[in-house]
Structure 1
């Protein structure tokens, strides 16, 4: 009795999808943290970032083999035999859907900025309630080295968290350089508050100057 060409293919479908998911976790978790307020969970999978090229290659190899198994010619069967209907998980359409989802996951770093919530405007220095007179700002700019950022989603997470500190004027974050440059009114905020805001994202402040 001959087995169908796609028997066991669903295992390859799942393996390819899992590999794609693993390759994208370092970018998915910061986005989830932004949308769902997961805080420190953003950096939970940053350790996967160096392995991303290998996971992408694994995804392509596994799904490529799954397509080969799916499309290879079937063994010659009895001309009178009635072809059996394939289960949904073994159909070409389902494999196509899995491949499309895997492609979306792998491409996440190239379009994830479109999924970010809109960035709220910076709070402007106001009037001291005690004196009812404008308080002259004391501007300072500090550079923070941050460990654990892997993509633009990480940048946006840090920016949004630091923006919540009163007196912040500007935040520029680079995941490639692992830095955050923050300008703030020292009469309303402190460097320690900025560091605490960065720490809430789950990334580590290595040093500040």
Structure 2
């Protein structure tokens, strides 16, 4: 008879990691879209956002049970001469700790993911052949589909590439983007198209001044 505690199965590790990944996909995907040039794929997993609290709870429950099985006291062996069963690498404390750390990083991604975005280079100033002064406009766009700050950084990155755009500030909390651009070289429709290309979408009631 073995005199070591029962070890958590591989299925527990897999379930914990999958739940953690699913909970963070809505925010991981926008970063992958920017790095890989996937465009509209950014919002592919936005539908998971309402289920995030349940996925987080599932991750905690699965990994908590795995740690319980790993750390619970071993039953007393009936045979004093029993040879302890050798643990595999995947049954070691170090491996379970690694899985737990990885799952924690995935669950926390929405809180630090925006900092991982590459610095977007603003579009080069458009020179006027007529020497006319810039016609600056500031418009506020309502955006649907954003689920975290990483989504906001994705929208900023896309809009900054539109020629004539001077600045953009995207608020995830308010679901808005305030864009200042030279109307002589950029049109509101171009800005909307850049936002929509990220996979999120401009909602009605855009305001201008």
Q: TM-score, normalised by structure 1?
A: 0.91
Aligned-pair CA distance for 1:6: 3.3
Q: Which of 137, 158, 163 is equivalent to 2:160?
A: 163
Is 1:174–1:180's contact at 8 Å kept on the other side of the alignment? Answer: yes
Is 2:20–2:55's contact at 8 Å kept on the other side of the alignment? Answer: yes
CA offsets, 1:81-122, max 9 Å, x none?
111111222221111110010011111122213311112134
Q: TM-score, normalised by structure 2?
A: 0.91
Q: Which of 183, 187, 191 is equivalent to 2:188?
A: 191
CA offsets, 1:52-103, max 9 Å, x none?
1221121111111110001111222222111111122222111111001001
Mapped to 2, the partners of 1:147 and 1:177 lie a distance apart of 10
Q: Which runs of 4+ in 1 moved over 2 A?
A: 1-9, 121-125
Aligned-pair CA distance for 1:176: 1.4
**What is the Cα-based RMSD across aligned positions, in Å?**
1.7
Aligned-pair CA distance for 1:185: 0.8
Corresponding pairs, count: 205
Match of 1:50 in 2: 50
Match of 1:147 in 2: 144
Gaps of 5+ in 1: none
Is 1:165–1:194's contact at 8 Å kept on the other side of the alignment? Answer: yes
CA offsets, 1:35-56, max 9 Å, x none?
1111111001111112212211
Match of 1:135 in 2: 132
Aligned-pair CA distance for 1:144: 1.1
